[in-house]
Every structure is written in C-alpha cells, then in structure tokens.
Structure 1
Amino acid sequence: MPKLIAHQTPDAIIAYTQSHVMTAHDFLRDCFGLAMRLPTKPYLLNFCKNRYLFAVGMGAAALSRQAMLLPPTYNQGMISQLQKTYPDFYILYDQDVLEITELPSFKLEYPVLPSYECYGSLSDLKKDFSVPEIPADHVMAYVFTSGSTGEPIPHAKTWGSLTRNVQAQLCRIREDVNFLNQKFTVLATVPPQHMYGLESSVLVALLGGQAFGAAHPFFPQDICTELECLPRPRVLVSTPLHLRTWMESGMELPAVDLIISATAPLSLQLAESIEAKFQIPVQEIYGCTETGQIATRLPTVNPVWQTYGEVEIMQADSGDDGCGGAVAKGDYIFSPTELNDVLEVIDKNHFKLLGRKVDQVNIAGKRSSLGYLNYQLNTIQGVKDGVFFIPDMVDTPKEKLGETRLAAFAVASGISKADILKALRSRIDAAFMPRPLFIVDELPRNSTGKLPHQVLVELAQKLQSKQIATEPQKQ
C-alpha cells in the first residue's frame, strides 16, 4: 500500500511555516493527534488556508478514512449545494468565515496539539519512526470541476491514483531540471483546495520527500518575502496571472530554480522573459480536474506537450460543431476520459493544444477561438489584462435576432477605449470585434486566475445597467 509520506527519517523537513520548521515527525504527530479529535463523519470540507494545516487535515482524514470535499468555491450557495449531496459532512478551517457559522465545524490552529502528554504513545513516534500506509483504493478527495464549463461535478481521487500521478510529475521534474539530487522546496500562489495546487504543492512534497512553504502569497511583495525565507533549490508553482504581475512589479526578485505554471496558457513572451531573468526553465503543466495533470512542455523549447508515464492521448471523433476532441487514458486515469480541449494529436504521447471546445466561436461563417482573441487583446500596448466572452444573457436587439455577438473586458493604462478598438481592428476580423468593450479597473479572477463565465455575464449585466441608467432619455 502507498504510504502517507515518502520521507525516510523523522528529522526530514516537510514544511516551513511562519515561525516553525516542521519535520516528518511533527507532521505525523499532528496527523495522528488530529485524527483522534476529528468528528466521526465520512466527509470533511477542508477549508484551511495555511498549507501545512491543510496537509495535516488531509493526513488526519486519510488515517480516519474520511474523504475531503474540494469544491471550486466556498460561498454559501456552493456549501448549500454540497449539503444536499453530502448531508453528513463537517468543515475543517483555520480562519473564521461567516458562511460556516451555522454548520458543523472544527477549527484547526497551531499548535495542532496543545498538550502532547494527552496522547501518550504520540511521544514515541520519533523514537519508533514508522510511516502509516493508506489503502490505494481509499477515496481521498472529491474534487469538483471549476464551473467554467458547466455545473460543478465531483470526481473521486483515490490515494493510489494521486500517488502515481505525483510520482509521474516528479519524474518529469527530474527530466527537465537537474537539482543534483538535492531536495527542493515548493512555494505556491494557488490554493491547496484546487487540483493543481493540491498536486503540485502539497502532494509533490508529501509523496516526493520534498518540502513546501505553508503560506499562500498572492501579491508580488508577498511572493518575494516568502521565497526569501525558503532554502534553495526553490520551485515556484503559479499561474500566468501571478507570474506576469510578479515580473512587472519592478521589485528585486529572489532567485528561483524552477517555475511551474498552469490553469491558463502561458504566453511565449512571458516564458522567455522569466527564463532570461532567472536563467532557469519554465515548465507548463496540462491537466484538468477530471484527469489530474497529464502532460508538460517547456514552452520556450517546444510547443508540443508530452504526456506523463503511461498516459496516452487519442483523437476522438469531431462533434456536431466540427471541433476535434481527444480522450486521455492509462496509468492513474480510471477510465478513458474525454477532454474539454481541442487537441492536435501527434502520437499517443504528444499533442498540440489548439483551444477549449467552449472557446470555439463561429460568426457569419467565420471561425475563431476565444483563446486567440484574448491573445490579440492582451498583446496591445497598454492593455494590462483582458478577456473576450460570449454574453449569452445580455439582452440586445442582435441577440434577439439570434446573431452571436462577442463582448470583452479590458484593464488598460495609458490607452483609450477607442484606441484599443482601433488596434483590435488591425488584428482580428470585424466579425469578432467586441460589442461592447468594457473598460474596468480589474477583472474578477478567482484565486487560480480563472474567470468563470457566469461571473463575466453578471459583471456585463451590471455595467450595462449602469450605462443605461446614465444615458440621457430620449423624448
């Protein structure tokens, strides 16, 4: 059976918290102690923001054979939805949250065990260091789709599949970077509740014998501060949004030894600027909630993605929309799984990513993709962030006639709305021009940099209502 952690000695470092260095002994002690105190329910909502406390909660749940629920959001609506499907769950948290005050909950703080004498044999863990095994078929978590392609759907992740997934990731890291057999430390700007954050920050450390920083930095200054506190080699696990903001901050950036990016396509320009700055590789991960991570590429070396281990990609039949689909299978993927992206399959282990199925746009017989349009918008001088979307709920005369129109948001500095539109006309076909284009202070991205479609629709409705209210009334 796979073990809870891969660390071989009790003094091996697992995590760096704000004021403590946590060893394998500390982690196992905290996991066993917490497991004794947790409610006896089958499911928990692991809401811990501190990455170490999240990991302890996960370890205690594994020892208790409980399953974590990891939804895409933690608002009241999502929690109410979970209650209907999983009525017998409790919430594990480390920071007070208004939405959970009326639900069964357990607050986790440091130290996890305020008095170790209460737990007798726990004090013998260091002397008799033995790592517990977890059944490979134990469902460790139900991870939900992000909601950007439909209603959130749970996907079971067993301890065995997660272990094989992370082992494949570690092999790829060693292929791409020579750490000279040194153990590395991970700092992540993505939350551990997200599939990417779970795999690439928590599990890669626990199951790979590495270490992680417990913080969840978001702003450039926070990222720099946390990196400076960690030993090298350092691995920064992040997103294109965080990386671009970090690189454009003008700050003195601490050294890193590998940068991993996922959740959205990484522009070649950004990857090149990172590699020129640090003289290190930038690794991009491809995956989804349904399959977990399944492939990587070094974008400045080759645009082609290479699958992990025994994972294979097959071209699927095109649907009614003419978009070529693909299926992933093998290794830690339970059954052949259709992907939500349009891929050009080169062979069973290599492919090119052409865009998301839901991104394909067909207007007046002309075809494009939201990914391509977003790229053109974001490369305009002065546009800091931008996104196209299909405003399927916006009530306009053209929509009533059944004619597709695109809308877009842009965060801009030193460039007017008219100039943005002028630049777009020189880059894209007139059929895909945004009508309307909204200029905003910032985009409502979530903690992983994504923009769920419904959030964009609601923002567009709000801005249009405000615009209509301020327009002079015709007599």
Structure 2
Amino acid sequence: MLPPTYNQGMISQLQKTYPDFYILYDQDVLEITELPSFKLEYPVLPSYECYGFLSDLKKDFSVPEIPADHVMAYVFTSGSTGEPIPHAKTWGSLTRNVQAQLCRIREDVNFLNQKFTVLATVPPQHMYGLESSVLVALLGGQAFGAAHPFFPQDICNELECLPRPRVLVSTPLHLRTWMESGMDLPAVDLIISATAPLSLQLAESIEAKFQIPVQEIYGCTETGQIATRLPTVNPVWQTYGEVEIMQADSGGDGCGGAVAKGDYIFSPTELNDVLEVIDKNHFKLLGRKVDQVNIAGKRSSLGYLNYQLNTIQGVKDGVFFIPDMVDTPKEKLGETRLAAFVVASSISKADILKALRSRIDAAFMPRPLFIVDELPRNSTGKLPHQVLAELAQKLQSQQIATEPQKQ
C-alpha cells in the first residue's frame, strides 16, 4: 500500500478498508505501535560497507521470478481534487513503464553508457517517486540515494555525497526554492521534473546554470508516466513506447478530453487534463479539467491564474482556490468567486491585488485573498483540495472573529 501520506488518519483509513493491512518497517516508529506491523531485521548498511558484506556471504542472492500480472502495489492519487483513490499496479506494467523511461533518458542525455546515480526529492510511495528513483535503479542497474531531501541545503548535501553522473528527480516547487536559495549548488547531469507544470523561465535558468538538459515528465497515478518533453526545446509532449493519445471530445476548438491507451496501460484511460492532440504520439498540455473556471460567461484556468499570481515580484508562493459551494443558496450558485492564498515578502496585499488587476480579468479576482506564512503543500509539492478547504474555513472564521461588531 503506497498512500499519499503517512499521517495517522490515512493509516487508520487503510486499516478499515484493507483488513489484512500491516506495516513493514526497518526503523522504530512510535505511531504504529498499536497497528499490525512487521519489522525488517535484515541489516541496513552504509554504502561503503556493502561490498565487504556481500563478499562474506556464502551463497549468492536468489532473485525471484515475479509473474507479470502480479499486483505489487496499490498507489493512491494525491487527493488534490478530492479523496485519494487507489490504483492497482502490476509488476509487468511497472517494468515496461520504467524500461520506456530509461530509453527516453538515454535519448535525451548522453551519459556515454555510464551508470548514473539518482537523488529524488519526492518520496518513493508517490507514483513518480517510485518509478523514477526506486524502479529506475532496480530495473536499470543504476544507484539511488535513499534520502528524499526537501530543503535546499539538504539537497546540496545529499548531491555532494553521490558520484557523477547524477540525476536529480524533483518538482517545480523544490527546484524553484533550490535555485533561489543563493547557495553554491553542486553539479548535476540531468534534472527531471514532474507533479506540476514547469515554467519555461525556471527551466531556462537551470539549463543556463548547469549546462544540462531539463526533462519534464507527464503522467498520472492512473496510467503512470506516459510522455516527456524538453521544455526549452519543444513545448510538445512525446509519448513513451507504444502508448497512444486519442482525442475523446472537443470543446468546440479542437481541444478537450483525451484518452491514453496501449503498451503498459491495461485499458483506455481518460485523462484529467485538457490536451491538444497533434497525432497519436504527440500532444500539447493546456491544463487540468478541474482547473477550468467559468465565471460570468468568461473562461480561464486555475493554472493560468496561478502562473500570473506567482510572477508578481514579492510573491514567494501562491495558489487560487475554488471554495466549496455546498452551503451556497441555489439562487447564488452562478455567482462563483475565487479565493487565493499567498506567501509574500516585501509586498502588501493591496499591491498584490493591484498587480493582479493588470494581469487577469476582473471576474477572476480573488475574493478573499489570504496572506499566509506558508502553503500546506505535501511532500510532492501538491495542495490537496480538502486541506485548502479547511485552511480557507479557518482563515475565514478568524477574519469574522476579528471584525468589529456592528451596533
């Protein structure tokens, strides 16, 4: 079971849904003492001790033959658009998926047939982290660092311990913070990004700094990764192997829903994004379906609005949010208003709103706009919808409580 988080609530929910659930661990974890668990007693050794340890073994390790149709994991969606949903992954589908990724890495980067080392800032229970660190190493004969650092200093420290060529598997959030840290950044030979759109500006700054390619991955929990692009070279995505993309419907402009099929994808799967399909192996990504906003007959996307918000000088992080409409009277359902959360320095709330007015239509101005110390991003940089809803409710309540009472 590979849940999006390891908090107590998520673990308890897994236990209720899966009666045979137990926790496999190799270090003491106080939070799981009351749950079924199994501790690995096999020694975990520092890398410099491994070779001596292996040479002392009297017999070779036996590598098991795993049936291709064996379900090896249930991977959960992040919950950014609702409740996390499990998806079964077989050993065969994951193997073919990662083999396709390794082929694409070799196409995009010339490591002169050298083995490379991977460091991931995303945890291995995330689909992207599982594929691009653990399985790339296991199935491709590479090595990877067991840590998944979050802060810039930790990323630098971990990279410096790894031999080259080295690959950093990360997210736009981690990469932006890392690049803006002002630290002396260690050399890397390839950077792979996923989980959110990577801005062209950030990709260009990375390539200028390190003189290396930046590869962006497209995929989802339902299908696994299915395409890549080099954003500074071409905005068009190219699918892996025999994976194909078909247009499912049109929004009147030739763009709309799309379906992925073929190769390691068991059955045609509808994607949660709006794509412009160029041909069966190439497409452009226009945004997420749930990002589409229609207010007063005007259309935009949360992705576009977030981009405009985060380009304002002094905004360190920000996100637009559609408040839940559950308690909204029927006669006012058409009056959707957006909210926004902003982490800012050296800029006031009034100046942020002024800058936004010059960038977006008035219909999409956030009402309200909350200034916060940080956004409640998870370990992959995503913002689960429920967490944002709870934050909005909390801040709204605090705002009402501090308003002067009318006489």
- TM, length-normalised to structure 2: 0.93
Contact 1:184 1:210 in 2 (8 A): yes
Relative to structure 1, is the Cα distance of residues 114 and 212 closer, same or farther in structure 2, using a 3 angstrom cutoff?
A: closer
Relative to structure 1, is the Cα distance of residues 381 and 141 closer, same or farther in structure 2, using a 3 angstrom cutoff?
A: same
Relative to structure 1, is the Cα distance of residues 378 and 117 closer, same or farther in structure 2, using a 3 angstrom cutoff?
A: closer
> What SS class does the counterpart of residue 274 from structure 2 fall into?
strand
Structure 1 stretch 455-464 or stretch 231-240: which is displaced more?
Answer: 455-464
Contact 1:398 1:404 in 2 (8 A): no
How far is 1:74 from its partner? 2.0
Contact 1:394 1:457 in 2 (8 A): no
1:120 paired residue number: 52
How far is 1:117 from its partner? 17
Relative to structure 1, is the Cα distance of residues 465 and 133 closer, same or farther in structure 2, using a 3 angstrom cutoff?
A: same
How far is 1:423 from its partner? 0.5
The reply to whether residue 187 of structure 1 matches residue 122 of structure 2 is: no
Q: Find 2:246's aligned residue among 301, 314, 329.
A: 314
Structure 1 stretch 320-329 or stretch 235-244: which is displaced more?
Answer: 320-329
User: Deviation digits for residues 207-255 of structure 1, max 9, x if unmatched?
Assistant: 0010001111111011000100000000000000000000000000000
Relative to structure 1, is the Cα distance of residues 237 and 126 closer, same or farther in structure 2, using a 3 angstrom cutoff?
A: farther
How far is 1:401 from its partner? 5.3
Query: Matches of 2:330 and 2:252 in 1, distance apart?
Result: 24
Query: Matches of 1:288 and 1:388 in 2, distance apart?
Result: 22
> What SS class does the counterpart of residue 283 from structure 1 fall into?
strand
Query: Matches of 2:254 and 2:297 in 1, distance apart?
Result: 13
How far is 1:318 from its partner? 4.4
Relative to structure 1, is the Cα distance of residues 126 and 149 closer, same or farther in structure 2, using a 3 angstrom cutoff?
A: farther
Query: Matches of 2:179 and 2:227 in 1, distance apart?
Result: 25
Contact 1:169 1:308 in 2 (8 A): yes
User: Deviation digits for residues 378-418 of structure 1, max 9, x if unmatched?
Assistant: 00111110000101159689995541000001111111100
Relative to structure 1, is the Cα distance of residues 393 and 444 closer, same or farther in structure 2, using a 3 angstrom cutoff?
A: farther
Query: Matches of 1:206 and 1:118 in 2, distance apart?
Result: 16
> What SS class does the counterpart of residue 70 from structure 1 fall into?
coil
Query: Matches of 1:385 and 1:118 in 2, distance apart?
Result: 42
Relative to structure 1, is the Cα distance of residues 361 and 118 closer, same or farther in structure 2, using a 3 angstrom cutoff?
A: closer
> What SS class does the counterpart of residue 389 from structure 2 fall into?
helix
Query: Matches of 1:117 and 1:463 in 2, distance apart?
Result: 52
How far is 1:86 from its partner? 1.0
Relative to structure 1, is the Cα distance of residues 115 and 318 closer, same or farther in structure 2, using a 3 angstrom cutoff?
A: closer
How far is 1:88 from its partner? 0.8
Contact 2:325 2:333 in 1 (8 A): no
How far is 1:135 from its partner? 1.3
2:284 paired residue number: 352
User: Deviation digits for residues 98-126 of structure 1, max 9, x if unmatched?
Assistant: 54221111234672599999999998867
Structure 1 stretch 111-120 or stretch 365-374: which is displaced more?
Answer: 111-120
Relative to structure 1, is the Cα distance of residues 115 and 305 closer, same or farther in structure 2, using a 3 angstrom cutoff?
A: closer
The reply to whether residue 105 of structure 1 matches residue 37 of structure 2 is: yes
Query: Matches of 1:457 and 1:169 in 2, distance apart?
Result: 36
> What SS class does the counterpart of residue 140 from structure 2 fall into?
coil
Relative to structure 1, is the Cα distance of residues 117 and 353 closer, same or farther in structure 2, using a 3 angstrom cutoff?
A: closer
Relative to structure 1, is the Cα distance of residues 247 and 295 closer, same or farther in structure 2, using a 3 angstrom cutoff?
A: same
Contact 2:254 2:276 in 1 (8 A): no
| Coordinate RMSD, CA, aligned | 3.2
Query: Matches of 2:253 and 2:346 in 1, distance apart?
Result: 40
The reply to whether residue 281 of structure 1 matches residue 213 of structure 2 is: yes
Relative to structure 1, is the Cα distance of residues 167 and 78 closer, same or farther in structure 2, using a 3 angstrom cutoff?
A: same
The reply to whether residue 432 of structure 1 matches residue 360 of structure 2 is: no
The reply to whether residue 400 of structure 1 matches residue 326 of structure 2 is: no
Contact 1:382 1:414 in 2 (8 A): yes
Structure 1 stretch 309-318 or stretch 148-157: which is displaced more?
Answer: 148-157
Relative to structure 1, is the Cα distance of residues 313 and 470 closer, same or farther in structure 2, using a 3 angstrom cutoff?
A: same
How far is 1:81 from its partner? 2.1
Relative to structure 1, is the Cα distance of residues 147 and 306 closer, same or farther in structure 2, using a 3 angstrom cutoff?
A: same
Relative to structure 1, is the Cα distance of residues 341 and 399 closer, same or farther in structure 2, using a 3 angstrom cutoff?
A: farther
Relative to structure 1, is the Cα distance of residues 328 and 118 closer, same or farther in structure 2, using a 3 angstrom cutoff?
A: closer
Relative to structure 1, is the Cα distance of residues 228 and 105 closer, same or farther in structure 2, using a 3 angstrom cutoff?
A: same
Q: Size of the alignment, in residue pairs? A: 407
How far is 1:80 from its partner? 2.4
The reply to whether residue 259 of structure 1 matches residue 191 of structure 2 is: yes
How far is 1:454 from its partner? 1.1
Relative to structure 1, is the Cα distance of residues 467 and 352 closer, same or farther in structure 2, using a 3 angstrom cutoff?
A: same
Contact 1:407 1:437 in 2 (8 A): yes
Query: Matches of 1:399 and 1:232 in 2, distance apart?
Result: 62
The reply to whether residue 81 of structure 1 matches residue 13 of structure 2 is: yes
How far is 1:75 from its partner? 2.2
Contact 1:398 1:405 in 2 (8 A): no
User: Deviation digits for residues 328-351 of structure 1, max 9, x if unmatched?
Assistant: 001110110000111000000000
Contact 1:275 1:281 in 2 (8 A): yes
Query: Matches of 1:394 and 1:115 in 2, distance apart?
Result: 54
Relative to structure 1, is the Cα distance of residues 260 and 454 closer, same or farther in structure 2, using a 3 angstrom cutoff?
A: same
Query: Matches of 1:435 and 1:108 in 2, distance apart?
Result: 52
Query: Matches of 2:15 and 2:329 in 1, distance apart?
Result: 41
Relative to structure 1, is the Cα distance of residues 365 and 83 closer, same or farther in structure 2, using a 3 angstrom cutoff?
A: same
User: Deviation digits for residues 148-192 of structure 1, max 9, x if unmatched?
Assistant: 223222111111111100000000000000000100000000000
Contact 1:233 1:257 in 2 (8 A): yes
Relative to structure 1, is the Cα distance of residues 276 and 322 closer, same or farther in structure 2, using a 3 angstrom cutoff?
A: closer
Relative to structure 1, is the Cα distance of residues 307 and 442 closer, same or farther in structure 2, using a 3 angstrom cutoff?
A: same
Query: Matches of 2:51 and 2:23 in 1, distance apart?
Result: 23
Note the residue ranges of structure 1 that are not aligned, 5 or more in a row: 1-68
User: Deviation digits for residues 296-330 of structure 1, max 9, x if unmatched?
Assistant: 00000000000000000000024899971100001
Structure 1 stretch 138-147 or stretch 348-357: which is displaced more?
Answer: 138-147
Query: Matches of 1:261 and 1:117 in 2, distance apart?
Result: 32
Contact 2:255 2:277 in 1 (8 A): no
Relative to structure 1, is the Cα distance of residues 103 and 327 closer, same or farther in structure 2, using a 3 angstrom cutoff?
A: same
- TM, length-normalised to structure 1: 0.80
Query: Matches of 1:259 and 1:413 in 2, distance apart?
Result: 28
> What SS class does the counterpart of residue 89 from structure 1 fall into?
coil
Relative to structure 1, is the Cα distance of residues 461 and 123 closer, same or farther in structure 2, using a 3 angstrom cutoff?
A: same
Relative to structure 1, is the Cα distance of residues 231 and 109 closer, same or farther in structure 2, using a 3 angstrom cutoff?
A: farther
Query: Matches of 1:399 and 1:157 in 2, distance apart?
Result: 45
Relative to structure 1, is the Cα distance of residues 115 and 279 closer, same or farther in structure 2, using a 3 angstrom cutoff?
A: closer
Note the residue ranges of structure 2 that are not aligned, 5 or more in a row: none
Structure 1 stretch 317-326 or stretch 424-433: which is displaced more?
Answer: 317-326
Query: Matches of 1:378 and 1:118 in 2, distance apart?
Result: 46
Relative to structure 1, is the Cα distance of residues 137 and 216 closer, same or farther in structure 2, using a 3 angstrom cutoff?
A: same
Identity of aligned residues (%): 98
Query: Matches of 1:285 and 1:258 in 2, distance apart?
Result: 13
